[in-house]
Amino acid sequence: MLPLIKTNIPAKSQLMPKLEEVLYSGYVAQGDVVEEFERKFENYIGGGNTLSLNSGTAALHIALILAGVKQGDEVISTALTAEPTNVAIKMVGAKVRWADVDLSTGNISPESIEKAINSNTKAIIVVDYAGIPVNVSKIQEISKKYNIPVIEDAAHALGAKFRGKRTGNHFPFTIYSFQAIKHLTTIDGGALQILDNNLYNKGKIIRWFGLDKNISRLENDIQIQGYKYHMNNVNAAIGIVQLENIESIVQKYIENGKYLDENLKGIDGVELIEYYPDTEPSYWLYTLKVKNRDAFVKMMAENGIMASELHKRNDLHTYLNDFPADLPNLDNFYQNMVHIPCGWWVTKEDCDKMIELMKKGW
């Protein structure tokens, strides 16, 4: 079965020397190797400050804290995402206010965001779902108009671009996941890209119990709530090796995605996703809309290819559905949406097989 998602681990000859060096160095906690990973990740992103963490969820949590979201506040978000996006909102005691999606992209709708804004709105979370960048320019306009900070969940979108710049350069806070199946994995981990230097320094204190690691424990005076959210040297070592190959890894997703974009046009029962102007997806998953999704998934499985909608829409979780809302575009999009394999393990022959199967119908 051609899998929808797959973990990419560098060759032993590339990974093990660096990993063994750290494992037997006598220092495996957060240290210089973490710093090295952060600076190299910043270089890849091309801007901002990297706060490495033990998960993308920790990145979301700290981003919400730095954005000033508190108990009883509201955060506008999308229901088309993995659950951590919205679970993190509840972690700060805030409530989730849904915005609908754009029917042509599946990403959060700027118009729906603006309609959802009220006096309790303290932040907006946008998700580059499946590696497809959101409508950056319109969301930036809304953020400026209402003075509401935006948190970009780019867990699916490492390497995606808007106007030639990678995610991580467009909003005050951008989160990444380095969980096992993402473009880049540190086995488990994440990062928060922060544009403001002062907020970055505050984030470093929050991720380590509220302690400032630049001074001794005896000199510290905890003044804010902190957590044990740091990355360790072992995970960072894996990340450093992964970054050596990241350009080619991400490019493989993009090449497959563009090939499918071009060759799936005009097939009966298939509707392709649109992309916003000046954006370049990184295609963590290849997303399309199909008629009779259940039959499509069954047909693909019978031919050795995994296809799935993958994520449950979050407004179906009682705990997350603080303000039940009519989301007609999401209703329409979700019932037809499906993902097919697109990653580094997918060959041109695999792509051609999927294209031919869809041409034959289901």
Instruction: Give the predicted TM-score (pTM) of the model.
Output: 0.96
**CB-based contacts of 191, cutoff 8 Å, min separation 6:** 38, 41, 50, 51, 52, 53, 56, 59, 175, 176, 178
Structure confidence at residue 5 (pLDDT): 96
Same domain, 185 and 39: yes
pLDDT 10s digits, 165-209: 999 999 999 999 999 999 999 999 999 999 999 999 999 999 999
User: What ranges in 92-224 are assigned the alpha helix state H?
Assistant: 110-116, 136-146, 197-206
Specify whether 206 is located in the same domain as 344: no
Reply yes or no on whether 265 is catalytic. no
Task: Please identify which of the residues 40, 122, 161, 182 carries the catalytic annotation.
Answer: 182
pLDDT value at residue 195? 98
Please tell me the predicted confidence (pLDDT) of residue 26.
94
Strands (E), 195-344: 270-272, 279-280, 286-290, 337-340
Q: Domain count for the chain, please give it.
A: 2
Place of tokens 């290849």: 286
| 2 found inside a domain | no
Do both 232 and 250 map to the same domain?
no
pLDDT in tens, 230-277: 999 999 999 999 999 999 999 999 999 999 999 999 999 999 999 999
Question: What's residue 254's pLDDT?
Answer: 98
Q: Which two tokens stand for residue 215?
A: 């001074």
Query: Quick one: pLDDT at residue 330?
Result: 98
Find, among 175, 158, 204, the residue nearest to 85 by Cα: 175
Structure tokens at 188: 């488990």
Domain end, chosen from 178, 207, 242, is at 242
Query: What range does the domain containing 219 cover?
Result: 12-242
* Domain CATH number, residue 25: 3.40.640.10
Domain match, 211 and 353 both: no
Quickly tell me which residue has 């490492």 as its tokens: 158
Query: Within this chain, do residues 25 and 146 fall inside the same structural domain, yes or no?
Result: yes
- In whole angstroms, what separates CA 230 from the centre of its chain? 19
Alpha helices in 222-292 (DSSP H): 233-263
